[in-house]
Amino acid sequence: MDFFHVLVVLLESTIRVSVPLVFAALAGLFTERAGVFDIGLEGKMLGAAFAAGAVAAVTQSVWIGLIAAILISVLLSLVHGYASITQRGNQIVSGVAINFIVAGSTVILGEAWFRQGGRTPALAEGARFQIINFPGADAIREVPILGPIYADLLSGHFLLTYLAFAMVPVSWWILYRTRFGLRLRAVGENPGAVDTAGISVIWLRYRAVICCGILCGFAGAYLSLAMTAGFVKGMTAGKGYIALAALIFAKWRPKNVMLACLLFGFLDALAIRLQGTPLPLVGQVPVQLMQALPYILTVILLAGFIGKAIPPKAGGVPYVKER
């Protein structure tokens, strides 16, 4: 196996594991830019993954599964919205609560409905996403350099993979080039000003939270309908928190979000790849260190040692209308 081939394989798996991170981090981008902290990304993603797996298994339709995922995720988002926007509760506490409720419910309901130890039944072909092969991918694979790049890196992914990366410029366009996006960002910096302009802070924040729910729905559906054929309990395994880390790492900017997710995905792919193989100069790196690296990097970034991550000013603060 030559170096180039290894690199292509590595990048291919980087893309594969980055997709849920991209969706979830963009989801967080929408709420946090609107001033609502969201550490419930993990729970929403898990709930969506379960809904997708369960509904697709019953209906045998990948699309109904996807819709179910989005519905559940939006519903959970609205709970978070109700607690943190309408009731002005603590946003962190609400996010933690959602993560717990979902973690427990998916196991209990999965076990009660399917009796497979918290799994949903394995999905047949029509009930999950299929890999999309670009025209001529197989024919061109033998061409040096360009062949593998076209056939393995660009082609051969799921529809949701392309959607995830398409969502990056789309999110940028929504947030920076539409009136809605401008107001959404304003509400995260200075809700008072937005209110004075006669725009409803509450309704804006609710819409941001719904956007977040939709994107988390895609993230969850990708996990159970594309990456694997069915839901396994606890399958998000901290991806929601990694997405949160990526969001901070990206300093709440869409393009950086994608790059941060790819970086964390790459570290993940590298960790799996390097398991047990010594590196030149440093010797054998413990897998655990590689796994902890995204978190360590985020801590270092937050401490301002590699640039400063400034969150939206009104983040985490419920808006109280002046009387």
CA dihedral 282, 15, 38, 100 (to 10 degrees): -80
By CB under 8 A, residue 58 contacts other proteins: no
If you compute the radius of gyration of the chain from its CA atoms, what whole number of angstroms results? 20
In whole angstroms, how close is the CB of 51 to other proteins at the nearest point?
Answer: 14
By CB under 8 A, tell whether 14 contacts other proteins. no
Q: Does 306 bind other proteins (CB under 8 A)?
A: no
DSSP annotation of 83 reads I
Query: Rounded to whole angstroms, how far apart are CA atoms 257 and 95?
Result: 21
Q: Which is nearer to other proteins, 118 or 156 (CB)?
A: 118
- Identify which of residues 114 and 165 has a Cβ nearer to other proteins in the complex: 114
Give the x/- contact pattern for other proteins in 108-147, rule: CB under 8 A: xx-xx-----------------------------------
> Is 48 a binder of other proteins (CB under 8 A)?
no
Interface with other proteins (CB under 8 A), residue from 166, 193, 296, 306: 296
Range in contact with other proteins (rule: CB under 8 A) among 96-104, 128-136, 150-158, 261-269: 96-104
Report, in Å, the least distance between residue 270 CB and other proteins.
Answer: 15
Give Cβ neighbours of residue 142 (< 8 Å, ≥ 6 apart).
none
Give phi and psi for 238, each to the nearest 5.
Answer: 85, 0
- By C-beta, is 95 or 156 nearer to other proteins? 95
For 59, 229, 295, the CA distances from 66, given in Å and listed in that order, are: 11, 13, 30
Stretch that binds other proteins, among 26-34, 107-115, 130-138, 199-207 (CB under 8 A): 107-115
Find out whether 28 and 251 touch, Cβ atoms under 8 Å: no
- Cβ proximity of 80 and 38 under 8 Å: yes
Contact call for residue 96 and other proteins (CB under 8 A): yes
CA–CA dist 254, 21 (Å, integer): 13
Name which of 106 and 171 has its Cβ closer to other proteins. Answer: 106
The torsion angles phi and psi of 158, rounded to 5 degrees, stand at -85, 160
By CB under 8 A, tell whether 21 contacts other proteins. no
Shortest Cβ distance from residue 91 to other proteins (Å)?
8
- If one asks whether residue 75 binds other proteins (CB under 8 A), the answer comes out as no
- The smaller minimum CB distance to other proteins, of residues 107 and 159, is found at 107
As a whole number of angstroms, the distance between CA 91 and CA 3 comes to 47
- Cross-strand partners of 295: none
Query: Nearer to other proteins by C-beta: 147 or 238?
Result: 238
The answer to whether 222 and 128 have CB atoms below 8 angstroms apart is no
Return the closest-CA partner of residue 175 out of 31, 319, 54, 46.
31
Interface residue with other proteins, options 89, 137, 150, 174 (CB under 8 A): 89
When the beta carbons of 108 and 132 are compared against other proteins, the nearer one is 108
Residue with tokens 């697709």: 56
* Site for other proteins contains 87 (CB under 8 A): yes
Question: Taking the complex as a whole, how short is the minimal distance between the CB of residue 235 and other proteins, in angstroms?
Answer: 15
Dmax (CA) for the chain in angstroms is 71
Q: Does 196 help bind other proteins (rule: CB under 8 A)?
A: no
Q: How many residues does the chain have?
A: 323
233 near 106, Cβ under 8 Å? Answer: yes
Binding site for other proteins (CB under 8 A): 37, 39, 79, 82-84, 87-94, 96-105, 107-109, 111-112, 238, 241, 244-245, 248, 286, 288-289, 291-292, 295-296, 298-299, 302-304, 311, 320-323
